[in-house]
Structure 1
Amino acid sequence: MKSQGIRGPPYRFPHGNTKEISKMKSQSMGKPMEMSHSIFPRIEPHVYSWTKTYGMNFLNWHGSQAQLFLTEPELIKEVLMNRKGFYPKMDMEGYAKKLLGEALITNEGEKWAKIRKLANHTFHAESLKSMVPEMSSSVEMLLERWKDHVGEEIDVYKEFGLLTTEVISRTAFGSSYVEGGHIFEMVAKLTEITVRNTYRVRFPGIRKREKVSNNGEFEDFGSDYLGQLVKTSHETDTKKRITIEQMIDEIKTVYGAGHLTTTSLLSWCILLLAIHTDWQEKAREEVYEIFSSEKPNSDGIARLKTASLIPIIFGSAL
């Protein structure tokens, strides 16, 4: 690496640079920050500091394992495109492996292809349109709950966490927040328990769907993501079949990744809309103009130009 101009912080036995990273993060997050889009130095202080010291690409150590960090856009693009398969996905270890298991974001090759096909089928454009009424109902529940807190402060991050869990539960798994919230709480705790306990988790809905197959009705698993997963776990062709463990891993991933990313984006957008009231007014006027007193629908949502820009503009800031 040195011969190619790659430098980085020196290795320190036995932790590598992990203690140094932890200290830097503790210092950066240990005090409130001013309102600013410059959040990179705060959330990734080691990357911010070391790119300035060692260049856009640097080497650091996670224990005894060397890690190459790339920040040059063209190199990142080459790795992500991975046309020749030179860059395998990172091996999950420890708690990350317990949490994600064999899911779409960790699998490669044949295992990846099986789940990718299911995801494409379940979440293509037409399927997403059919989910809009369920999403609207979930948002209505949120707004009704907020009516009881007029004039009070609301923890929007917590509230949007409940909303995203509800939406994922209803649209992907035919469940509800009562069941979905419980599932999410279990997923959040999976990083603190053993592999044995992980595989003992029983997700509401799976056993209910499997009971149908015991009655001989193999086609009635449902058309949502859970239904497609259960159906694939009963495939007679072993090359197409997935295991119960893989199915559980997929559910954990959808709840975990879908919940956290969307919750963060919604919370950040709401915060910035509260600051930039001109965008807030533009978006409100557009929504009233298109929907008036009607419930949102997929055709109308596609016509929202100002509202569609907000997650793009504010999301890039996030």
Structure 2
Amino acid sequence: MEMETSTYSTTNNILLSILSIVVVTSILKVVNWVWLRPKKLERWLTQQGIPGTSYKFFFGDTKDISSMSTQALKTPINGFSNDYFPRVDPFRHHLLTRFGKDYFIWAGPTPMVNISKPELIREALTNTQDFLKPRLNPIVDKLFPGFVNYEGEKWAKHRKMINPAFHMEKLKLMLPAFYDSCAKMIDKWEKIAAEGGSTELDMWPDLNALSADVISRAAFGSSYEEGQRIFELLKEQTSMALAMLQEVYIPGLRYIPTVKNRRFREVENEIQTLLKTIINKRKQEIEVGKPVKADLLGILMDSILKQTQEVVGSIKIQQLGMSIQEVIDECKLFYFAGQETTSVLLVWTLLLLSKHQDWQARAREEVLQTFQNSVPDFEGLSHLKTMSMILYEVLRLYPPATQLNRRIHKDTKLGKLLLPAGALIAFPILLVHRDEDFWGDDVDNFRPERFSEGISKATRGNNSYFPFGWGPRTCIGEKFAITEAKMALSMILQRFSFELSPKYSHSPMTVIFLQPQHGAQIILRRL
């Protein structure tokens, strides 16, 4: 009996010891995560000569960023000024005046180092082995799934599979889809303006619908009406994701069944179901012998149905293409990123041309000389020099994404800096695009003539212009977006003149991408 009691007591002591070790180890890990390691990294960065904010327990700078942004968005910009950085990112604007161009801030317990030197940006964005896509919050993976978040061989494999969809020959085949979508919007505008020859309208919702329709037709062979529910859900998901990203990420918190988390999962499940329906419909068409369509979905489906062979030495290894889930992820990514990028490019272009009537007239003259009133063709679009200059300047002043982020998984050299493992690196597109050292003291002015001899001459060989990223991971849809924008602008300029409405309130804001907070009201006149 005494022996049994002794054994029982020993077992209890062992269990208590193990439990104590687990609890103490967990506490030490949490303390290291939220305090010891951030303070160590703060000293590290300061010793490198990089100034920055003092670390605040757990939250870092997230509360200050959120409160300052909320306050800034309450007030539109007085007049139409292209110097809107204090409004879209007041916290970083404050640090720019305090620390200069390069500094570090805190995304919770993680330091984020701001790097603005073009030569360092080029070095980092070219080095895809050490500078990886950030993993700050799994919510981002839901919003931006697919190859954009892959690394290494998986990224290279998916990029290779998707590349054919964006070759020039494929873009030429998509032109009728671009035209049909633009014609639908322009027909609507002509009907609205028919009675008096002019009308006042908010073009932002129509441009969103236009780019959504283009994506649906060109990428998936459907129309906006068929994909409309997907776009509505993506808009809701984006709004929820943005709110979540402004909070400090706590591992596992997204699994707690809060109202917000449940709704996010419901939206995600519905998007997945709708995309799966589109994919299964295409799969059935292929199975009954219909030819594979030359759109994005067709190319992705082709990768599922075919196996590729890779020769390693003398051995042939069978490799499968994408899984159905991977195809769904790529479709969701293209739906979201493709639609948003083009709609924001178009809205800022039309707003700037509304303000700068001289450039609107020059663009219209070029379009009419090239196409008269005929349907724009691919060859003609590729030779619109004035329009290219305008689009480049719009992308300089109003890039769709205002900064690129990367993370490093080991201590990494960048120029003369030694950056610590786990740090985030931010490359501020918006600030580099309007750096007086590279663009001159008229940096905030709309001057498309900067690009009269192309991007390389305009930047004097510096990496001071990268609206679609840089290096191997440059946005794959860049040519798609530019071609769509040229088609839409050409057709609009053929039929209308436009100017800013007195109701327009210049209020740029970032909701993932840079967009007008209160719409884009213009006065439209039929020619």
Q: Distance in 2 between matches of 1:194 and 1:27?
A: 26
Measured in 1, the distance between the counterparts of 2:306 and 2:266 equals 26
8 Å CA contact retained: 1:133, 1:297: no
Q: How many residue pairs align between the two structures?
A: 314
Amino acid at match of 1:205: I
C-alpha distance in 1 between matches for 2:294 and 2:320: 18
**What residue is the counterpart of 1:211 in the other structure?**
284
- Which residue of structure 2 aligns with residue 232 of structure 1? 303
Task: Call closer, same or farther: CA 1:201–1:20 in 2, change over 3 Å.
Answer: same
Give CA deviations for 1:1-54 in whole Å, capped at 9, x if unaligned.
111012211122221110100111112211010211112221122222213322
Contact 1:14 1:64 (8 Å CA) reproduced? yes
Give the equivalent residue in structure 1 for 2:257: none
Other-structure match for 2:481: none
State how far apart, in whole Å, the 1-side matches of 2:217 and 2:367 are.
24
Once the 2 structures are TM-superposed, how far is the Cα of residue 125 of structure 1 from its aligned partner? Answer: 0.9
Q: 2:143, 2:157 → 1: CA distance?
A: 20
Label 1:93 to 1:295 Cα distance change in 2 as closer, same or farther (>3 A): same
Write the letter of the residue equivalent to 1:126.
E
1:114 maps onto 2:184 in alignment: no
Contact 2:103 2:115 survives alignment (8 Å): yes
Give the Cα separation in 2 of the matches to 1:265 and 1:110: 32
Q: Distance in 1 between matches of 2:113 and 2:265?
A: 29
Structure 2 partner of 1:59: 104
More helix by percentage: 1
Asked if the contact 1:25–1:46 (Cα under 8 Å) also holds between the matched residues in 2, the reply is yes
Deviations 1:130-167 (A, max 9, x none): 21122112111111000122233211111110000011
Residue type at the aligned position of 1:210:
K
8 Å contact from structure 1 (residues 8, 58) kept in 2: yes
Per mean C-alpha deviation after superposition, the further-off stretch among 7-16 and 139-148 is 7-16
2:385 is aligned, of 281, 293, 305, to: 305
Aligned to 2:134: 90
2:149 partner SS: coil
| Aligned residue in 2 for 1:268 | 348
Give distance in 2, aligned partners of 1:129 and 1:48.
42
Name the structure, 1 or 2, with higher relative contact order (CA <8 Å, separation 6+).
2
After TM superposition, the score normalised by the length of structure 2 is: 0.57
Residue in 1 aligned with 2:172? Answer: 129
Would the aligned equivalents of 1:114 and 1:240 in 2 still touch at CA under 8 Å? no
- Alpha-carbon distance in 2 for matches of 1:195, 1:78: 38
5+ residue gaps, structure 1? none
SS of the residue corresponding to residue 294 of structure 1 reads coil
Equivalent positions of 1:11-90 (< 5 A) are 11-34=55-78, 35-82=80-127, 85-90=129-134
Give the CA deviation at 1:169. 0.8
Moved more, 196-205 or 141-150: 196-205
User: Which whole-Å CA distance do the structure 1 matches of 2:132 and 2:383 have between them?
Assistant: 40
**1:198 is aligned to 2:268:** yes
Shift in Å at residue 109 of structure 1? 1.6
Q: Following the alignment from structure 2 to structure 1, what is the Cα–Cα distance between the partners of residues 383 and 302?
A: 36
Contact 2:162–2:300 (CA under 8 A) maintained in structure 1? no
Question: Higher Cα Rg: structure 1 or 2?
Answer: 2
The normalised TM-score by structure 1 is: 0.92
For 1:180 and 1:201, how far apart are their aligned partners in 2?
12
Deviation at 1:268, TM superposition (A): 0.7
Q: CA RMSD in A?
A: 2.0
Query: What pairs up with 1:124-163 in 2 under 5 angstroms?
Result: 124-150=167-193, 151-163=198-210
Report the secondary structure of 2:273's partner residue: coil
1:253 maps onto 2:322 in alignment: no
Q: Conserved in 2, the CA contact under 8 Å of 1:98 and 1:190? A: no
**Equivalent pair of 1:233/1:242 in contact (CA under 8 Å):** yes
Aligned-residue offset at 1:194: 4.1
Q: CA deviation at 1:209?
A: 1.1
| 1:183 maps onto 2:226 in alignment | no
Per-residue deviation, residues 149-194 of structure 1 (Å, max 9, x unmatched)? 2233211111110000011111111110111222212222335444
Once the 2 structures are TM-superposed, how far is the Cα of residue 236 of structure 1 from its aligned partner? Answer: 3.8
- 2:372 aligned to 273, 292, 296, which one? 292
What is the CA-CA distance between 1:118 and the residue it aligns to?
2.5
Q: Unaligned stretches of 5+ in structure 2?
A: 1-44, 241-262, 309-317, 399-527
